[in-house]
């Protein structure tokens, strides 16, 4: 187990160093700021910027930088809500949809529902967000009263809750496809026929035999679903102006101004090497914990039946 | 045998191809649909004495930007360059992924660099890494920024794409007839050409449109961040402004994003167009896709069809609920 954890942590360590190396290349020392002040004692070379990036997390851990760390941590809750909601939601709704896809395939009404979700999945994340954002602007212009409060707004239910649901769509559709295929494979197995011939009820057959055997297959997809959600979170927070979010803060740290302002390198914020390093490390830590959890779950649900 | 099992026609793929063909016709012959030039400015409407940005109207179907340039015309002129950029990256990722996957399967080796690349894209959001690289100042302002753009997106997309291709090609190489071909003394190249390649067409028919959809999505997303093939700036007495003479959809998104609240049309319509393109490619991919890997490997290739019909890739009875295990079980 320790070996397994070490393997994951080691890979992650290399990857984070690589990402920090990429992040530090080509950034001029004069453009790098800490707490609103330029980095002092930095020559304008890649190595000095790189070592500043490597040094940043250690600096953040020292007492004078605790307020910055606290401020950076304050960006976590909103993003954590988005990610956790989307992850759990994509498993719950994805599996349910996958099951329905198999058993309700012939229902005409359900085909329409499937088509709607296919369309939602086919539109890229940025498209969904921009169409909702600009669409609600147009809608608000056309229908200023909004007496029944249906136009997306900054309140929770039509704001962040709606966004969390949008974030859920790609991973949910992915998991529903996996569930669909896994069930289709499993349905051809003879042990199901044996169990049925012995008189087991369909629901019990499904729950005890079929579903239990597709769980490992579903758990295998957890890291993929997670990275899909993180990738979508980037577009979601940036394009829907979620300045209280983790990814938004990371992008701001990279000097990426808010959408609606002039482009990067024109009206940019400074490249906050500490913020970027700190956020990337936080993301790394978060993802490592998640990967370990997913691996433990996979180990816990041993493969009962192999499709091969 | 069920009639629908060997149906070579796919309505979804047909609709998708029709939409893309429509885009191409408009893009190649813009004068068919618009009489404005892409840089022509509509400065004033004397009838009601108004100045741009003009809203959606009969004269400007998608409105104008703040300079009075017709957004519809810009989009129409931007279709071909967008598809050109996407084609370059799709061709690169596809060719490289297939070559690497074949080498890895044939010689039973793992190329470490490729493995690391795939791992990297599976743990960090690839778009974030693209941004980190493409926003490096010397890269962003480079004269060769377009090549950087193609290379960075291409390589990182390759990392994401290789495991998929690798798995599919390994599946082909595991087939019994490959072993038979080895036993009768076929060379690796002969086996690849005569047996493997023939079985790869249905996979390619699905890969190509889905890669187009994926790469267009990445290009669009980077566009909002101001990352385009060629970023140009204008320094004047009023300061520096982002300007670009090139016409592609990511640049339009990038330009429109700066005036999001003043001119929402500038973001809304290019986004809509790009989404429509992506949906069309996804439709083609869905039409070409098999329901399951087993079906794909059982019923291909169909020798009695010309290659272009095969590209439309039939859906079998499974998609229509014909011989699906669930239906058979009932």
Question: What is the domain-level CATH number for residue A88?
Answer: 1.10.3720.10
Please state the ipTM of this predicted complex: 0.87
- A33 with A53, same domain: the answer is yes
Calpha distance A264→A271 (Å, rounded):
11
**Residue B306 sits at the chain A interface (C-beta within 8 Å):** no
Query: Does A294 map to a domain?
Result: yes
**What pLDDT does A163 receive?**
92
From the list A15, A223, A224, the residue facing B124 with the nearest CB is A15
First to last CA, chain A: 27
User: Total structural domains in chain A?
Assistant: 2
Determine the structural domain holding residue A294 and report its residue range. Answer: 2-75+245-300
Q: What is the pLDDT of residues B210-258, one digit of tens each?
A: 999 999 999 999 998 888 998 777 666 766 666 777 889 999 998 887 7
Query: Does A234 map to a domain?
Result: no
User: Contact B293/B171 with Cβ under 8 angstroms?
Assistant: yes
Shortest distance between the Cα of A281 and any Cα of chain B, in A, equals 11
- A147 with A37, same domain: the answer is no
Calpha distance A222→A174 (Å, rounded):
11
Query: Does A276 map to a domain?
Result: yes
- Which tokens in the block code for residue A272? 């906050």
- A257 with A205, same domain: the answer is no
More confident residue, A161 or B238: A161
**Residue B138 sits at the chain A interface (C-beta within 8 Å):** yes
- A157 with A84, same domain: the answer is yes
Q: In chain B, what are the domain boundaries?
A: 3-329
Q: What average pLDDT does this structure show over A282-293?
A: 80
Q: Looking at the predicted structure, is the pLDDT value of residue B329 above 70?
A: no
- Which tokens in the block code for residue B160? 């994401």
- Sign of the torsion formed by the C-alpha atoms of B66, B84, B208 and A222: negative
- A100 with A161, same domain: the answer is yes
Query: Which residues, at least 6 apart from A87, have a Cβ–Cβ distance to it below 8 Å?
Result: A171, A225, A226, A229
Mutate to test the interface with B, among A124, A133, A271 (most CBs of B within 10 A): A124
Q: Which residues of chain A neighbour B249 with C-beta distances below 8 Å?
A: none
- A21 with A81, same domain: the answer is no
- Which tokens in the block code for residue B165? 């291709």
**Residue B164 sits at the chain A interface (C-beta within 8 Å):** no
**Residue B327 sits at the chain A interface (C-beta within 8 Å):** yes
Query: Does A212 map to a domain?
Result: yes
The answer to whether A235 contacts B127, with C-beta atoms less than 8 Å apart, is yes
Calpha distance B313→B202 (Å, rounded):
7
Query: Does A307 map to a domain?
Result: no
Q: Looking at the predicted structure, is the pLDDT value of residue B76 above 90?
A: yes
- A139 with A210, same domain: the answer is yes
Q: Which of A157, A190, A224 delimits the end of a domain?
A: A224
User: Contact B243/B232 with Cβ under 8 angstroms?
Assistant: yes
- A14 with A50, same domain: the answer is yes
The 10 Å CB-count burial string (b at 16+, else e) for B304-318 is: eeeeeebbbbbbbbb
Q: What is the pLDDT of residues A181-209, one digit of tens each?
A: 899 888 878 888 888 889 988 889 888 88
Shortest distance between the Cα of B271 and any Cα of chain A, in A, equals 6
From the list B123, B139, B260, the residue facing A15 with the nearest CB is B123
The answer to whether A134 contacts B291, with C-beta atoms less than 8 Å apart, is no
Q: What is the pLDDT of residues B255-309, one digit of tens each?
A: 887 777 778 888 999 999 999 999 999 999 988 875 333 344 444 444 455 555 5
């Amino acid at each position: 187990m320790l070996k397994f954890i070490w393997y994951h942590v080691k890979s992650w360590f290399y990857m984070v160093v690589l990402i920090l190396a990429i992040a530090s290349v080509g950034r001029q020392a004069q453009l790098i700021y800490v707490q609103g002040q330029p980095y002092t004692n930095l020559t304008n070379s890649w190595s000095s910027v790189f070592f500043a990036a490597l040094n940043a997390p250690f600096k953040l851990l020292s007492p004078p930088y605790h307020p910055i760390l606290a401020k950076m941590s304050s960006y976590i809750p909103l993003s954590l809500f988005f990610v956790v909601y989307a992850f759990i939601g994509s498993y719950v709704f994805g599996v349910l949809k996958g099951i329905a896809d198999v058993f309700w395939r012939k229902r005409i009404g359900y085909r329409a529902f499937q088509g709607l979700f296919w369309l939602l999945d086919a539109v890229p994340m940025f498209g969904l967000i921009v169409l909702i954002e600009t669409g609600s602007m147009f809608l608000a212009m056309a229908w200023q009263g909004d007496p029944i409060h249906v136009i997306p707004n900054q309140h929770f239910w039509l704001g962040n809750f709606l966004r969390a649901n949008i974030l859920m769509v790609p991973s949910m559709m992915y998991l529903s496809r996996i569930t669909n295929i896994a069930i289709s494979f499993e349905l051809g197995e003879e042990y199901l026929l044996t169990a049925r011939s012995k008189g087991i009820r369909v629901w019990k057959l499904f729950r005890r035999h079929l579903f239990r055997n597709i769980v490992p297959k579903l758990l295998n997809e957890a890291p993929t679903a997670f990275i899909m959600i993180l990738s979508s979170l980037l577009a979601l927070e940036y394009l829907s102006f979620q300045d209280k979010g983790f990814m938004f803060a990371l992008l701001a740290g990279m000097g990426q101004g808010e959408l609606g302002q002039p482009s990067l390198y024109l009206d940019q914020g400074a490249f906050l090497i500490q913020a970027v390093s700190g956020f990337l490390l936080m993301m790394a830590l978060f993802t490592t914990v998640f990967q370990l959890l997913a691996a433990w779950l996979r180990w816990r649900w041993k493969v009962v039946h192999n499709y091969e | 045998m069920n009639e629908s099992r060997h149906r070579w026609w796919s309505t979804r793929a047909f609709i998708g191809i029709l939409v893309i063909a429509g885009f191409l016709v408009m893009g190649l012959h813009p004068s068919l649909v618009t009489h404005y030039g892409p840089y022509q400015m509509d400065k004033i409407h004397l009838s009601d004495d108004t100045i741009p940005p003009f809203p959606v109207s009969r004269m400007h179907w998608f409105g104008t930007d703040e300079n009075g340039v017709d957004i519809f015309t810009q989009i129409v002129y931007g279709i071909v360059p967008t598809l050109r950029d996407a084609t370059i990256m799709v061709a690169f990722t596809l060719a490289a992924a297939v070559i690497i996957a074949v080498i890895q399967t044939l010689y039973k080796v793992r190329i470490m660099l490729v493995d690391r690349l795939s791992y990297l894209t599976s743990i960090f959001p690839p778009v974030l890494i693209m941004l980190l690289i493409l926003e490096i100042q010397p890269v962003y302002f480079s004269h060769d920024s377009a090549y950087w753009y193609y290379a960075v997106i291409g390589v990182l997309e390759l990392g994401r794409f290789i495991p998929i291709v690798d798995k599919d090609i390994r599946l082909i190489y595991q087939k019994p007839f490959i072993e038979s071909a080895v036993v009768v003394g076929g060379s690796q190249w002969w086996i690849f050409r005569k047996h493997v390649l023939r079985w790869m067409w249905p996979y390619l028919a699905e890969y190509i449109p889905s890669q187009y959809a994926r790469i267009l999505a990445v290009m669009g997303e980077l566009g909002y961040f101001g990352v385009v093939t060629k970023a140009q700036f204008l320094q004047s007495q009023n300061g520096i402004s982002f300007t670009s003479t090139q016409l592609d959809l990511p640049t339009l998104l990038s330009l429109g994003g700066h005036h999001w609240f003043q001119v929402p049309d500038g973001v809304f319509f290019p986004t809509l167009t790009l989404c429509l393109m992506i949906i069309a490619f996804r439709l083609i991919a869905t039409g070409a896709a098999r329901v399951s890997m087993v079906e794909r490997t059982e019923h291909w290739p169909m020798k009695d069809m010309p290659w272009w019909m095969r590209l439309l890739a039939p859906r079998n009875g499974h998609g229509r609920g014909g011989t699906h295990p669930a239906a058979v079980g009932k």
